[in-house]
Chains A and B, each alone.
Chain A
Amino acid sequence: MSSQFKTIQYQLNEQGIAILLMDIPGSNANVMGDAFRDELDLAVNLIASDDNIKGAVIGSVKNDFMAGGDLNAMVEMFANVTDPQAALDIANSIKPTLRKLECCSKPIVAAINGPAMGGGLELALACHGRVVSDSAKVIMGLPEVTLGLMPGAGGSQRLPRMIGIQKALEIMLQGRPFNAAKALELGIVDAIVAPEKLIEAACQQITDGLDPIKPWDKKGYTIPGGSGFFDADLGNLYNYLTSTICRDTQRNTPAPLALLTAVARGTAVPFDAGLHIESCYFAKLILDPTARNMVRTLFVSKGELDKLSRRPKGIDKASFQTIGVIGSGLMGGGIAQSAAKAGIDVVLLDISDEQASKGKDAIAKSFGKLIAKGRMQQEKADALLAKITPSADYSKLASCQLVVEAVFEDVALKQMVFKMAREHMPADAILASNTSSLPISQIGEGLPSPDRFLGLHFFSPVERMPLIEVIRGKFTSDKTLAEALDFVALLRKTPIIVNDSRGFFTSRVISAYLQEAFAMVAEGISPTLIDNIAKQAGFAIGPLALIDDIGLENGYKASLAEKQALGERWVEPAGFKVQKQFNELGRIGRRGGMGFYDYSEGVRAPSAAVAKLYPASASAVDAEQIKQRLLYVQALEAARCYEEGVITDAAEADVGVILGIGFPSYTGGVFSLIDTLNCGEFVAALDALTETVGERFRASDWLRSRAEVGIQFYA
Chain B
Amino acid sequence: MIDAFIFDHVRTPRGKGRPDGGLHSVPPIELAAQTLNAIKSRSDLDTSTIDDVILGIVTPVGEQGCNMARPALLMADYDESVPGMQIDRACSSGLDAVNLGAAQIMSGQAGMIISGGVESMSRVPMGSQGGAWARDPAVISKTYFAPQGIGADLIATRSGFSRSDVDSYALESQRRAHNAWENDYFSKSMITVVDDLGLPLCSKDEHMRPSATAGDLAALKPAFAAMGEQGGYNAIAQQKYPEVFAINHVHTAGNSSGIVDGASALLLGSAAQGKTAGLTPRARIRAFASVGSEPTIMLTGPAAAARKALKNAGMNAADIDLFELNEAFASVVLEFMRELNIPHDKINVNGGAIAMGHPLGATGGMLIGTVLDELERRGQHTALISLCVGIGMGVATIIERV
Contact = CB atoms under 8 A, between A and B. Distances in A.
B294 to A, nearest CB: 14
Q: Is the interface of A mostly helix, strand, loop or mixed?
A: helix
Most A CB contacts (10 A, CB to CB) among B130, B244, B245 go to B245
A264 B138 CA distance: 9
Categorize the interface residue count of chain B.
20 to 34
A245 B138 CA distance: 12
Contact of B232 (A247, A264, A532, A621): A247
Contacts of B244: 528, 532
Given A230-B130, A532-B238, A536-B239, A261 B245 contact: no
A229 B242 contact: no
B141 interface: yes
B132 interface: yes
Interface residues of A, number: 33
A247 B230 CA distance: 10
A532 B247 CA distance: 13
A425 interface: no
Given A243-B231, A244-B232, A606-B245, A238 B239 contact: no
A239 B138 CA distance: 10
A701 B202 CA distance: 83
A151 to B, nearest CB: 16
Given A242-B140, A533-B242, A247 B135 contact: no
A250 interface: yes
A248 interface: yes
Nearest to A268: B136
A526 B127 CA distance: 38
A354 to B, nearest CB: 44
Given A246-B232, A532-B242, A238 B135 contact: yes
Contacts of B144: 246
A529 B238 CA distance: 10
B136 A261 contact: yes
Interface in B135-184: 135-138, 140-141, 144-146
Contacts of A260: 137
A257 interface: yes
A528 B241 CA distance: 11
Given A239-B135, A247-B235, A248-B232, A536 B140 contact: no
Interface string B95-132: 00000000000000000000000000000000110101
Contacts of B236: 243, 246-247
B233 interface: yes
A257 B130 contact: no
Contacts of A230: 130
Interface in A229-280: 229-230, 232, 234-235, 238-248, 250-251, 257, 260-261, 264-265
Given A232-B130, A243-B145, A247-B232, A265 B243 contact: no
A230 B129 CA distance: 8
Nearest to A234: B135
Nearest to A229: B135
Interface string A606-631: 10000000000000010100000000
Interface string B219-247: 00000000000011101101100111100
B2 interface: no
12 contacts: A232-B130, A243-B231, A243-B233, A246-B235, A246-B239, A261-B137, A265-B138, A528-B243, A532-B238, A532-B239, A532-B244, A536-B239
Given A241-B137, A529-B242, 10 more contacts: A232-B130, A238-B136, A239-B134, A239-B231, A246-B140, A246-B144, A246-B232, A261-B138, A264-B136, A621-B243
Report the 7 A-B pairs with minimum CB-CB distance, sorted nearest first. A247-B232, A235-B135, A532-B242, A247-B235, A243-B232, A242-B140, A244-B232
